[in-house]
Structure 1
Amino acid sequence: MNLKNKLSFVFLVVLVNFNFLLAQQRDRTSSTDSISNYSTYKRALSFGGVMQTRYVYSLTDNTDIDGKNYISSDETAITNTFTVKRARILVKANINDHFSANILVNLADFSGNPTNKVLENAYIKYSQSNYFHVQVGQFRPAFGVEDALSVDVIRTLDFSNQYYSFGKNGWQSFQIGMSVFGDLTKKGDLRYFMGVYNGNNKTQKSDDNNGKNGYLRLETDIVKNFTLGANVATGSIATSGTGYAYGVDLTARLPLSNKFQLLLMAEAKIGSNFLEYNAATADDTVIIKSALSDYNMHGFYFLPTLKYDLQSKRIRAIEFSSRYEYLDDNYKLNSNARQTIIPNLSLIFADDYYAALQMGVSIDWYKKEVPLTTTNSHNLAYVQLQIRF
């Protein structure tokens, strides 16, 4: 074969391979290109929820189930009761591969005054990729490890006292606004969460001032099974002026053996207490008003959980936990630290907390007690059953 024929043969082989590769490229894109309307692509509707019912009994004399001190002759005080704490229904609708909607309601709130309650999540979410998600509506701003956990998984009696105090002051819990979040690395070991919201809590017709709260959270998996989070936020409530909040948290999941696993959660926060400040400035007896920066709350908690994977047909696991928490709602001007210990035993009948029976004691004590109020050291025993679906 002469040189010309050799070159022709090589050219033919290259041309055939090029056409083959081109055909493969066309085949790979043809399935995508064939979708001319993404309106219903991956459309789906799903339902879920959680039921949590409990029995509580006050172990402290002259103290009701809410921790309020009462006169011994008060026969109206309730020292034990059955109650439904949560009856949540979740509806999630995937419109297509980018848009979705999420609605979460707590029907248990109808047992009391439902004003500004019941509706919890109500947001629209757009997902471009793992690096960029945006949601608008009512949701929980990511301002701590408890916001990162599923809202329908309660590993002990309840969320921390810190969570509720910061929630009442607009720093976390359910708020109305917009957030953006996603991965910062291809491996997903560094994540960001940021957003703006009204800051006057859930199910409100509008904001209570023209300012908006803003937050930023960064999470990183520093090593395998260890996640470190850092939070910063700024905001206000009504006429309080601008305040700030900061926090750090750590979660760790440590396999000790084939059967035992240790889960560690710890979190510390400091932030402006708008409610205390607004209440003080509204008092005409206060001649010299302290600055908002003097109305601060701070606290931390530590929650170790030891899990034994029994993995029998009916009892999947047994967990023992004991949360310790320290919280002071106004430590600069009127310090009265509250400490809480909650030893808890959980029997898990279905994986991932789809069925769990929990029992324990909530032990609360205050540095300074105030008679006939809930600022009263007390102990509360509980047994609760929760079902996810």
Structure 2
Amino acid sequence: MKKAHNFLGLKSILFLLLFPFMSNGQTNEFNSQSEIKYPQFKFQGLFQGRYLSGFNDGIDAVTGLHHTDGKAVENTFDIKRMRLGATVKLAEHFDVVVLANFADFKSDPKGKVLENAFARYTFNTRVGVMAGQFRPAFGIEEANPADILKSFDYSNQYNEFGNNGWTSFQIGASVFGSFELGKIPVSYTISAVNGNGKDQVSDKDNGKQYSSRLVFEFSKKHNINFGINGGIGEVYNSSVYAVGLDLTADFKLTDKLILQTQLEGKQGINHFLYYSLDTNSRTADIADYQMRGAYFLPNLRYEIKYQKLTAIEFSCRYEYFDRSFKINSNAKQTYTPMAGLEFGKGYTGRVEIGMQLDNYKKNISNSTSYDNKLFIIQFQGRFF
């Protein structure tokens, strides 16, 4: 029975990879390739450095770990990201992407450093395929690189769903494209991944995780997009799932003043938490351990365009997240007010200042589940 299940899983992955070749939308557009020289190289990079200072005694500024032994490092300078990447275009519709974060060398680099490493072939606007290590589409944040986020960093739910194999960098294959449903543009992504994170020798078991995303563009002018996300899979012979909804909308208040908003919610089985617990301290049913969260992120952007200063931004993300809302619930509420200055085009230079306020339903000593108030100054420089 197990072999039959593995065989069906293999067939699903092969279908995912071969589907574009069977598509009716396939076209041949190689007539002019002899006039263009390949490969073509495009390089990009990002530096993010910051200063962190906590307002609470006994809590590490970087990790948020509470200490009762007086050994907490409550303020520090930190290099968050030092990314270098390249996109190599091998043909008109074929490219290879690589991205590494050298800031990961500051700690044990095992399972880190290499982020993107995939090949991508786009047949046309309707069908494309990629394979390797990438971020499977499962929400708003997956479509945004860290350097253009409207807050300091990704949300709590992004990180936890990444631990569970639905977001962040995963190894697998994906089919993507777009079409029109009546007059509504729709983009889709279907992914199959190992689900145990980046830079792994192999999958942790024979199970795979399958996810899909649909985005309906209701208004291009106001950036009104509605996303639906869903995924199922198997981890150590246990069935797992995840679902999510998201919405973006922009409101132009004046010629230079724009209110940009994001709303996103997700829920799923937290198998990462379940299998990290001792067998004697957890229930027999993995479905008892489920995570749930939502955030709202408004960003007020004033495009000043004064000398080298491009824009001033003010945002405040509110997030509610509970990594196990059925058993031992300890919901976390996070407020992240931030002010930012943008220099140059596309956040070439950016200075951000603000706070991160974490409030738990109950504090647990000597853990990361402890109330914390953190002051942050972050600087970034990027080229692309």
Which TM-score band applies after superposition, normalised by the shorter structure? Answer: 0.7 to 0.9
1:234 is the counterpart of 2:229: no
Aligned-residue sequence identity (percent) comes to 39
| Closer/same/farther in 2, CA of residues 284 and 314 from structure 1, 3 Å limit | same
Alpha-carbon distance in 2 for matches of 1:101, 1:361: 38
- TM-score under structure 2 normalisation? 0.87
- Structure 2 residue 154 is matched with structure 1 residue 159: yes
Change in Cα spacing, 1:310 to 1:36, as seen in structure 2 (3 Å) is closer
Find out whether 1:339 has 2:333 as its counterpart. Answer: yes
Which amino acid counterpart does residue 221 of structure 1 have in structure 2?
E
Cα shift at 1:37:
5.2
Of 251, 255, 258 in structure 2, the residue corresponding to residue 254 of structure 1 is 251
Q: Which amino acid is the alignment partner of residue 232 of structure 1?
A: G
- State the structure with more CA Rg: 1
Indicate the residue corresponding to 2:10 in structure 1.
none
Task: Give the superposition deviation at 1:338.
Answer: 0.3
1:35 deviates by: 4.9
Partner of 2:82: 87
TM-score if structure 1 supplies the norm length?
A: 0.86
Contact 2:146/2:154 (<8 A) preserved: no
- CA–CA separation in structure 1 for the residues paired with 2:281 and 2:219: 54
Preserved contact between residue 240 and residue 277 of structure 1 (Cα < 8 Å): no
Structure 2 Cα separation of the partners of residues 346 and 194 of structure 1:
35
User: 286, 291, 302: which one pairs with 2:296?
Assistant: 302
Tell me what 2:309 maps to.
315
Aligned pair 1:134/2:132, yes or no? no
Query: Cα–Cα, structure 1 residues 37 and 229, in superposed 2: closer, same or farther, change >3 Å?
Result: same
State which of 61, 65, 68 in structure 2 corresponds to 1:68: 65
**Cα distance change, pair 209–63 in 1 and its aligned pair in 2 (3 A):** same
Q: Is the 8 A contact 1:265 1:303 kept in 2?
A: yes
- Distance in 2 (CA, whole Å) between partners of 1:167 and 1:378 is 23
SS at match of 1:166: helix
Deviations 1:202-223 (A, max 9, x none): 1111111112110110001123
* Structure 2 gap segments, 5+ residues each: 1-28
Q: Is the 8 A contact 1:50 1:386 kept in 2?
A: yes
Counterparts in 2 of 1:1-389, with a 5 A limit? 35=32, 43-65=39-61, 66-71=63-68, 74=70, 76-185=71-180, 189-224=185-220, 225-237=223-235, 239=236, 241-280=238-277, 282-284=278-280, 289-389=283-383
Q: Which residue of 2 aligns with 1:13?
A: none
CA contact (8 A) 2:33 2:91 kept: no
SS of residue matched to 1:263: strand
**Following the alignment from structure 1 to structure 2, what is the Cα–Cα distance between the partners of residues 366 and 220?**
35
**What secondary structure does 2:148 align onto?**
coil
**What is the one-letter code of the residue matched to 2:175?**
V
Structure 1: gaps spanning 5 or more residues:
1-31
The alignment partner of 2:73 has SS state of coil
Residue 47 of structure 1 and its aligned partner are, at CA, apart by: 0.4
For residue 273 of structure 2, what is the amino acid of its counterpart? Answer: E
* Runs of 4+ residues over 3 Å off in structure 1: 32-38, 40-43
CA distance in 1, matches of 2:130, 2:105: 27
Change (3 A) 1:41 1:324: same
**Equivalent residue, structure 2, for 1:8:** none
- Asked if structure 2 preserves the Cα contact closer than 8 Å seen for 1:41 and 1:97, the reply is no
Q: Aligned residues, how many?
A: 351
Shift of 1:90: 1.0
